[in-house]
Amino acid sequence: MTMKLALWNENDYLCKNFILNGLADNLYDYYSPYKSAKLVWLALEKKYDTEEAETKKYVVSRYLKYQMTDDKSVESQSHETQKIAYDIISDGMALDEQFQVAVIIDKLPPGWKDFKNLLRHKTKEFSLDSLITRLRIEEEARRQDQKDEVLVVSHNNTKRKNTGVVLKPIGKNFKNQNRNVSNTSNRNKNPPRVQHARQHPPTKNNPGESFLCYNYGKPGHMARKC
């Protein structure tokens, strides 16, 4: 009995040190106080099983929360989604291919809303690879449409710059409008001289009596003849 106990203690000591020697230095110092190999193993199992569960939870959370945006390539973002799905599968969780197809379609960016609605009715018709191919074709078509639109806008802007602006008169003839404005301005600048007639002092002349000149006072002589 004593020999069996001694043999067990020796084997347990060797097993414990085999486990500890496989750990990093900081972990070795932490787990070396444990008295048996079994206690070390259970402590490590509890620690890393919890961490593995947290890792799986984190990867699943990333997969569910991932959302594509319009400022990046849809094809590249769909590949990122596939990478996260691969991490989930690597951790021992199963993901159906049709489920992955549905997830990628659901995560398409807001600018792909119409295309997303179209694909939702055809989810079962696509494999994962065929869906990625379809997204690549659609994205290339959209890029080409944007290039064509930019060329049309640029052409229209160039055409406007090369075309002179024509001013059209409204209502009356444009030449007459200018003539009227010119005449009006000239009248305002050089008002006509008004000739005032000389006022003769009121005189009472008898019938048959000649009037007097305003300058010389001579009868029968008008001031304008002086």
Higher pLDDT, 6 or 200: 6
Q: Reduce the secondary structure of 183-222 to three states and give it as a string.
A: HHHHHHHCCCCCCCCCCCCCCCCCCCCCCECCCCCCECCC
Higher pLDDT, 69 or 123: 69
Q: In degrees rounded to 5, what are phi and psi of residue 171?
A: 85, -100
Per-residue confidence (pLDDT) for residue 204, from 0 to 100: 47
Residue whose tokens read 């939870």: 57
pLDDT at 70 over 60: yes
Q: Which of 3-7, 9-13, 21-25, 201-205 has the least mean pLDDT?
A: 201-205
Query: Which of 95, 32, 90, 26 is CA-nearest to residue 64?
Result: 95
* The token pair that represents 155 in the structure block: 């052409």
pLDDT at 88 over 80: yes
pLDDT at 81 over 90: yes
Label residue 6 by pLDDT band (50, 70, 90): confident
Average pLDDT over residues 149-168: 65
Q: In degrees rounded to 5, what are phi and psi of residue 23?
A: -100, 165
CA–CA distance, 44 with 78 (Å, rounded to integer): 37
CA–CA distance, 101 with 78 (Å, rounded to integer): 10
pLDDT at 202 over 70: no
pLDDT at 162 over 60: yes
Higher pLDDT, 97 or 50: 97
Average pLDDT over residues 122-129: 86
The CA distances from residue 102 to 63, 75, 112, 130, 139, in Å, are 13, 15, 15, 13, 19
**CB count in 10 Å sphere of residue 119:** 22
Single-letter amino acid, residue 154: S
Helical segments of the chain, H only:
2-21, 25-31, 37-65, 74-90, 97-106, 113-120, 128-162, 174-189
Taking each helix axis from N to C end, the angle separating 74-90 and 37-65, rounded to the nearest 10 degrees, works out to: 160
Q: What is the mean pLDDT of the chain?
A: 77
Higher pLDDT, 191 or 70: 70
Per-residue confidence (pLDDT) for residue 109, from 0 to 100: 93
